Amino acid sequence: MRIYILFLTLSGLSSFVFAANELPDKQAEIPAVSKSASADYIKPRSLDAIPNSEFGKKVELGYSLFVNSQQMRGEFVGNELNCVNCHMQAGMKANAAPLWGAFMAYPAYRSKNDKVNSYAERIQGCFTYSMNGKAPQAEDPELVAIAAYSYWLAMGGILDKHGMQDMPVPELSDQEILQGGKIESFKLPADIAHLYPVDQRGNLTGRGYPKLEAPAQEPDLERGALVYQDNCSVCHGDDGLGIKGADKRAYLPPLWGAGSFNWGAGMHRINTAAYFIYENMPLGKSVQLTEQQAWDVAAFVNSHERPQDPRFSGDLEANAKTYHKHQGYYGKSVSGETLGAHSFPTGDEIIK
Ligand code: HEC
Ligand code: HEC
């Protein structure tokens, strides 16, 4: 457990090292934007405002794929999750990594794959890791649709915020939509463009999951297990595998095991999970755990086995060394079991 201290120290250093073009940690975290009580979050338009046009059809499809991603099971999705499980309220909720905040933050450099990522590439990342699947290609209608939906949420919300409720969301080409909004060529109405300089677009209030301070005590699995029992198991199951309906689909999502996010997903990091949980769980009663409880339960959840990191090429230790220099249990031993060593079936094998 001493490891945490080391990681917390390292993460403080990483931005410095990063500036020197070193990549000590390939698992890029999105920057957490701090929370403010008076935050004037972007509020997307009602779905009723989606236009009845070819562009509107893409937006509608994007919404549908985002909230019911199991439509793509076996093709692009390899687990039991839906995008909306972590990007809540259909990707509209501030502080739950909303799509409007995300769209305006790309293209952007990501150390995870060491290049500038378009918005489409960032979405592909969540298919590969969070959904344990095989990402659609940029020209696939599914990817265009999710990007179009994100754009529509962002642009409608921005127009409304500045009193332009009557202005329809300008229809863009697929190419423009896949790129994202953090680029000179992405145009905002002339009167408000100065409020959104390109280099600030990645910092919209409410983007990402708000960061917590390092915990007073190191996260502890035993305390975490108790928090889990009292606050989480009723919905996510004593075994963490979620709760399934008669159709074998999870209506309450699994937190670990074969049907959950894999060892490459951002949520497997203890800090990212703590931020998400503190802000969003238990569902319907969020922000009632103490910060310490959020850290403890995040560690507990992430100390369980889940599908392999897709970057794994046979050597657990090597993979841990290359990709897991952060707060997580991949490659570590918990109760005598080495995590990351269990082979669940991957991708579409699970589906059948
Ligand atoms: C298991 C939870 C989970 C699921 C399911 C999930 N994501 Fe994510 N997503 C995350 C996390 C966590 C991050 C932030 C990553 C980080 O900090 O490393 C993220 C980041 C993103 C971002 C970038 C956000 C930003 O502000 O930069 C986009 C876009 C995105 N996800 C889209 C999707 C889509 C589309 C799906 C479904 C195909 C999906 N996600 C499914 C957890 C999830
Ligand atoms: C009242 C039911 C309920 C309770 C209690 C609850 N959750 Fe959730 N949880 C959900 C639902 C539903 C979702 C998916 C949210 C959505 O789709 O809008 C979710 C999503 C999640 C996710 C992201 C998706 C995934 O499967 O990984 C995590 C992590 C999570 N919960 C952790 C917790 C933790 C930890 C606790 C206890 C502190 C907790 N939840 C308590 C219902 C609940």
What pLDDT sits at residue 16?
A: 30
Burial 57-68 (b: 16+ CB within 10 A, else e): ebbbbbbebbbe
The best mutation among 130, 149, 283, 309 to test binding of ligand 1, ranked by most ligand atoms within 8 Å of the C-beta, falls on 130
What pLDDT sits at residue 349?
A: 52
Ligand nearest to the CA of 126: 1
DSSP line for 219-269 = --HHHHHHHHHHHTHHHH-TTSS-EE-TTS-EEE--SSSTTS--TTSGGGS
Closest atom of ligand 2 to CA, residue 82: 17
Q: Calculate mean pLDDT across residues 246-262.
A: 93
pLDDT beyond 90 at 171: yes
> Does a cis peptide bond (omega within 30 degrees of 0) precede residue 51?
no
What pLDDT sits at residue 38?
A: 63
Closest atom of ligand 2 to CA, residue 297: 35
Give me 242's structure tokens: 């979620």
Q: Are 134 and 127 in contact (CB under 8 A)?
A: yes
What pLDDT sits at residue 347?
A: 52
- CB-based contacts of 218: which residues, under 8 Å, 6+ apart? 1, 2, 4, 5
Ligand nearest to the CA of 297: 2
pLDDT in tens, 292-321: 999 999 999 999 999 999 999 999 999 999
Higher-pLDDT residue of 136, 111: 136
Give yes or no for residue 23 CB within 6 A of ligand 2: no
Q: Spell out the long-range contacts of 242-246 with Cβ–Cβ below 8 A and sequence spacing 24 or more.
A: 242/80, 244/80
Record the pTM: 0.91
pLDDT in tens, 336-348: 999 998 878 665 4
Ligand nearest to the CA of 124: 1
- CB-based contacts of 263: which residues, under 8 Å, 6+ apart? 306, 307, 308, 309, 312, 328, 330, 339, 340
What pLDDT sits at residue 23?
A: 31
pLDDT beyond 80 at 260: yes
User: Given pLDDT bands bounded at 50, 70 and 90, which one contains residue 247?
Assistant: confident
What pLDDT sits at residue 90?
A: 98
**Whose structure tokens read 């889940």?**
306
What separation in Å is there between the alpha carbon of 9 and the centre of ligand 1?
Answer: 25
- CB-based contacts of 276: which residues, under 8 Å, 6+ apart? 86, 96, 209, 267, 298
Please give the share of the chain, as a percent, with pLDDT higher than 90. 78
Could you tell me which residues are beta bridge partners of residue 117?
Answer: 108
- Domains annotated for the chain, with CATH where assigned, are 3-18+211-351 (1.10.760.10), 44-203 (1.10.760.10)
Q: Are 190 and 155 in contact (CB under 8 A)?
A: no
What separation in Å is there between the alpha carbon of 235 and the centre of ligand 2?
Answer: 7
What pLDDT sits at residue 113?
A: 75
What pLDDT sits at residue 11?
A: 38
Q: Calculate mean pLDDT across residues 235-255.
A: 93
Closest atom of ligand 2 to CA, residue 273: 29
Q: Calculate mean pLDDT across residues 160-180.
A: 96
Sign of CA dihedral 276, 130, 119, 113: positive
Q: Calculate mean pLDDT across residues 111-115.
A: 77
pLDDT beyond 90 at 285: no
What pLDDT sits at residue 342?
A: 84
The best mutation among 232, 244, 278 to test binding of ligand 2, ranked by most ligand atoms within 8 Å of the C-beta, falls on 232
What separation in Å is there between the alpha carbon of 90 and the centre of ligand 1?
Answer: 12
pLDDT beyond 90 at 219: yes
